[in-house]
Structure formats: structure tokens, C-alpha cells
Structure 1
Amino acid sequence: MKAEPAAQARLLDLQELDTALQRLDHRLRSLPEIVEAARLKERVDAIDAELITAQTRASDIERHQRKAEADVDQVRSRADRDTKRLESGQITNAKELQNLQSEIASLGRRQAELEEVVLEVMEEAESVNTDVTRLTGEREEAVAKFTEVTARRDTAAAEIQWDRTRVTQDRERVSADIPADLLALYDKLRSQYDGVAAAPLRYGRCNGCKLALSTVELNEIRATAADEVVRCEDCRRILVRTEESGLNAPVAE
């Protein structure tokens, strides 16, 4: 492949811009706020699950408490009616009086048992409601932190994106100076070699793989026409000849 030396030199400018884009993409992926936001989101989700469980339990206990209090009211009302009958003096039959007194005593024991249940349920409700209050506060705090971190993440990402847009525009301008076939080769190699497709030949060394070229390789490049596109024999990247390539004087074999 042939290309004017100036066009080959532009590959180094293009490579520098593509490397800058890689760094920006790495910065974007590596923002600490991304990891922190993900951690906080997991925390909020975990609290939400606990809170739903606690709220459901509180609702169940509330229904249980209402049922237990209704049972107490029912027994108390019945005991009050029986007590009034007993105190009214309308019942004179000894057997009936005995049965009524026995029922009142039984209702008293039942009321005491139900009131004990109500107290236990109230204690349980207090404990669960404390959990609900605690979890609600923790959720509000976690959500506030998540909101703050995501705002910082979005701001940092926007700044990186602005830099990326600027570099991309520069890349488009540089790409326009490079022949289509050379640009196609460059893009193909870039996808194969970790984003680095073109490197300067500097002081007899490929700046892509950092290996020094042999005397034979340097002499072959020296004998190659300036418009001939050369490749590193080791890493196969495009080698761009510059004033620092070390090709000015012949090298003895």
C-alpha cells in the first residue's frame, strides 16, 4: 500500500486522538461514583424489602389487635349484662343464680385472658412499628446519598462526554486527511491490536511493541520508498517514519 508521507504522519495524530478516546472511555467506565451509586442502590433495595416485610407484619398485627380488642369488648359486654341481671334481683331461682354467677366468673377469666393477649399484641406492635420507623429513616438517608452520588456521577460523565465530543470532532478532521484505503487498514489493525494501529519508528525501535528492529529490517525500511506503507515485522502495526527514526545514515550489516 502506498500513501504520501504526510498522510502517513497524520496516522500518528489520529492514533493520539484514538488513544485519548480510549482513556476517556476508561475514565467513564471507572468513575468511582458508578460503583458507589450501584452499592447505594442495592442498599435502598435491601431496605425496601425489609421495610415491606415490617409494614406487612405491622398491618397483620394491627388486624390481630383489633380482633383481640373486639373479643375483649364482646366478653366485657356479656359480663356486664349478666352482672346487671344478677344485681337486678329478678332472678330468684337458686340454680339459675348459681349458673349465672358461674358464667360471670368464667367470663371474667376469659376477659383476663383476652386482655393479656391484647397486651402482648400491643407490645409486638410497638416493636414492629419501631422497626418501621427505623427502616423508614434508613431508607430516607440512603435515598438522599444515592441521589447525591448519582448527581455527581452524571456531572462527571457529562464532562467526560463533552471532552469525548471535542476529541471525536478532531478525529473527524484528521481522518479527512488520510486516504480511504490507509484509513481502512488503520481501523482494521486498531481493532486487532488493543486500539493501537500506528506507531512511530523512533531510534530504530517500534513504538508500538517497544522492540528494536534488526539491522536488516532497518536497512530494508531505509531502501523502501517514502510513500510505501511499512509494517513492523513483530507486531504488524503500521510503522510511521519520522525524523527520529534513525534512518539518516546507513547501518552496516
Structure 2
Amino acid sequence: MKNASELAKDVKLTPAEKGDPVAAQSDEQRRISEYWSRWAGEYEAYQAQRREAEGESSVWEGIWSAGLPQPPSQVLDLGTGSGAVAFLLAGMGHRVTGIDLAEGMLAEARRRSGYSANPMFGFGDAAGPQFDDAAFDALTARYVLWTLRKPDQALAEWLRILKPGGVLVAVDSLWFPEGLIAHEHEEDHSGARGQDFRRAYQGQEQDLPLAEAGSIGAFADRIRAAGFAEVTAEELPELKEADQEYGVAPGHRVQMQYRIRAVKPIS
């Protein structure tokens, strides 16, 4: 197995002088990152609970394998959180790097990994990943598209770091069609975490247009406009069935989720 430095060389990590993601964070993004860090323990506790559910891993393996190249592929998991997707893909034989701006989430991922080389985790911005051009065979993003600030710029960066013919596979949903901080969500986001969510996201609707998308086509249209080809969006009823059986994370509802897949054109 390759060590962390060899893996970093493989994915062509961009030199530090090209930018510092800590300094580059806006006050608005810092509020979001700090929110996810504060609730990382609760988030990972739910992830751990679902990992124990019968058939959970096989459901997710099927979702990702249907969209990704055959392993081993070099994969960047954008907004990796506590590493749920990164660990799964590494177990399927891919070489995976996960990045996130929430230090609390990365701490949970590293605790679980024991600082192994695959998956490897690093502090990085999903909206502005600091990697060389054409560094990855595939990008994954689970529940990340909705929280991308200025998604058009982010998607242009995603296209840049993909190899020609490389794929983007995202799983997301229409989480806040009535409005990101709408009164209708009071019941769904009650208690301390709900109040913290509103503090983190209040006033950011303009920079987070996909958070309030009313159709999955809005996601596909943005990705297509960024220069991706072969963009598809498919319902994932198997996830909805699993959520109905095992329950959803605090502050969420059982609803349809989608796999969005797109390809970087070869020429």
C-alpha cells in the first residue's frame, strides 16, 4: 500500500503557494464550516448507526459503482464530512482523497481511519479545490451541491481538476424548496442544532441557489452549463426505502434523493 506522501504525489496536490484555504474562507463560509464542525460528533454518530443497518453498505455500493469507473480509480470526495463515502469507495478498491473545510468533520474521519493512506483526508475547499488540472478520474459529492456557494464557479473548478473522460457523481436532494430559512422548517430543525443552522445559513440564500432548488433539473442545468456532458439525474428509491425503515438524521425528512452523473468531454 502506498503511503500518504506517495498518494499525495499521485493526485498532484497543488503547491501551497497557489492558495491557503484557511485564509481564503469568507466570513460566510467560515460560519458554515464552524456549524458542521460543532455538530460533527452527532453527524458521525448517525452515520455509524446507519452503517450497522442490514444492507446499508450494499445499497450505497450499488449507487456509486453504477456511476464510477472501475476501480482502482483516483477519486476526490468533495465535502467529505466524516468520510462516509471515502471509506466506502476505498473499500471498493478506489484510491480516495477526501477534503472538507470543517475541521471537526475531518477529526472524525481521521479518528476512524487511524491516519491511513487510503482514504486520505485533508483540509480543503470543495468550492475551490486546490489540485492540478486533470488530477482525478472521478469526483464524488454526497449532499454537497446544495451547500455550494457560487456553484457555477465551483463546478468550473471541478471540471478543471477532472481528467478528460472523467466523471462527476453526486447524490443530493431538494432539501429546502420552500426556502433555506423558511418558517416551515421550524419543526424539522428544532432545538439547539436548528437554531445553530439558522445562524450559520441566514442571509446566504443568494450565494447558495441550489439550496432552494425546486427541481432536480436545476442541479443538472448548472452542471451542464459548466461544460459537463452526458448529464443524467436518476431517482434513488432504494435510499428512500432505507430511510423509511431505519430513520433519517435529526432535522431531516424522508424524501426522494437523486444520483447526478456527468462526464468531462474528451475534447
TM-score, length-normalised on structure 2? 0.18
Determine which structure has the larger strand proportion and give its number: 2
Q: In terms of Rg, which structure is larger? A: 1
